[in-house]
Amino acid sequence: MKWPTIIGITIVVVLLTFYEWPKMDQHQKKEKKAFVTITAMGWLLAILLLFFPDLPGPTQMIDSLFSPLGKLLEK
């Protein structure tokens, strides 16, 4: 039963948004878009890690992407 955890994560994200949103200037649209994007990505990552705890981290993804380039540069 993971629903209580999902609801808890969502409540924390909503509280964070209600706390931070009024502090941002009305005319800074790029800052608000960045805030929404980063917050949504963090919420999604938290939910994904809840269902798939063995999910590789971002450093492992970057390592798998750039390891062929590193091997090419070693030669």
- Using one digit for the tens of pLDDT, what is the confidence trace for 32-52? 999 999 999 999 999 999 999
Using a cut of 0.85, tell me whether the model's pTM lies above it.
no
- DSSP-derived letter for residue 44 is H
- Using one digit for the tens of pLDDT, what is the confidence trace for 4-21? 999 999 999 999 999 999
Residue 75 has pLDDT above 70, yes or no: no
Q: Where are the domains of the chain?
A: 3-74
Q: Is 6 exposed, middle or buried (0-12, 13-18, 19+ CB in 10 A)?
A: middle
